[in-house]
Amino acid sequence: MSALRLIDKPECPFCWRVRIAAALQSREVESLDRSEPEVLAEWQRLSPHRSVPVLIDGDLVLTDSGPILEYLAETGMALLPDSPRQRAEARSWMAYGDNVLGRSMREVVFEKRDKPEDEWDQERIREGVRGFLQGLPTIEKALDNGPFLAGGQPTLAECALFPRFALALTYGVEVPSDFPRIRQWIKRMVVHPAFMSASPERVRNILVEYA
């Protein structure tokens, strides 16, 4: 199996999910930080819509985390369950993570990330947190059925959702205690070497506390 190269941004949840998927498959990925000048030039050449992640496998260049994850799932160890129903569920969770959790959490992250605290738009943050929390009951219910969202093992669903929860924690948004299954599920991933090793160092320190 050839070594993969990933044009990467450490806290981008789309890059992060690719790193988790590769780590779950024990595949070596050379992470190329997009902020490095020579990587930036390569990225500008390879990414027509100017987004990360970009995966390079020999002469194959893939943009967008969706196709990248599907490619990894088809060319390496299982990242999707065997049954078509559970495969569809895993993919559906990926969409849920982006459309529900991600959409809300990005408001919190964008507001807090680049500004001093006394300039934060508290209403924007409250709205973001509200949207994120509204997304939790559906996940809590799904975790009634097993330790992971689509079967007994982490799948693409966890690859995509874990960064959303890890970012939430990093930006001060806790999962309330009335979601005990979600809290256990996060801990299950935090103690999993693939999830930990794929996380940015700053976040890893916060996750260690959580476990």
Ligand X SMILES: N[C@@H](CCC(=O)N[C@@H](CS)C(=O)NCC(=O)O)C(=O)O
> CA-to-CA distance for 122 and 108, rounded, in angstroms?
9
Min CB(52)–ligand X separation in Å: 4
Q: Does 14 bind ligand X (CB under 6 A)?
A: yes
Residue 52 in contact with ligand X, rule: CB under 6 A: yes
Stretch that binds ligand X, among 50-58, 139-147, 158-166, 191-199 (CB under 6 A): 50-58
Our CB check for ligand X shows the closer of 43 and 179 to be: 43
Q: In this chain, which stretch among 6-14, 124-132, 139-147, 186-194 interacts with ligand X, using CB under 6 A?
A: 6-14
Q: Where are the beta strands (DSSP E) in the chain?
A: 4-8, 29-33, 54-57, 60-63
Query: Which region holds residue 36: left if phi is over 0, alpha if psi is between -120 and 50, else beta?
Result: beta
CB of 98 to ligand X, least distance (A): 7
Give the integer Cα–Cα distance in Å for 206 and 13: 16
Residue 53 vs 131, nearer CB to ligand X:
53
b/e per residue 33-67 (b: at least 16 CB within 10 A): ebeeeebeebbeeebeeebbbbbbbeeeebbbbbe
10, 66, 121, 192: residue in contact with ligand X (rule CB under 6 A): 66
Q: Which two tokens stand for residue 89?
A: 């569920």
Tokens (6 digits) for 170: 């990093």
Site for ligand X in 161-190 (CB under 6 A): none
Q: Which is nearer to ligand X, 12 or 196 (CB)?
A: 12
Least gap, CB of 140 to ligand X (angstroms): 25
51 belongs to the binding site for ligand X (CB under 6 A): yes
In whole angstroms, how close is the CB of 14 to ligand X at the nearest point? 4
Using alpha carbons, select from 137, 145, 152, 142 the residue that is nearest to residue 188. Answer: 152
Contact indicator for 183, 175 with CB cutoff of 8 Å:
yes
Footprint on this chain of ligand X (rule: CB under 6 A): 9, 12, 14, 50-53, 64-66
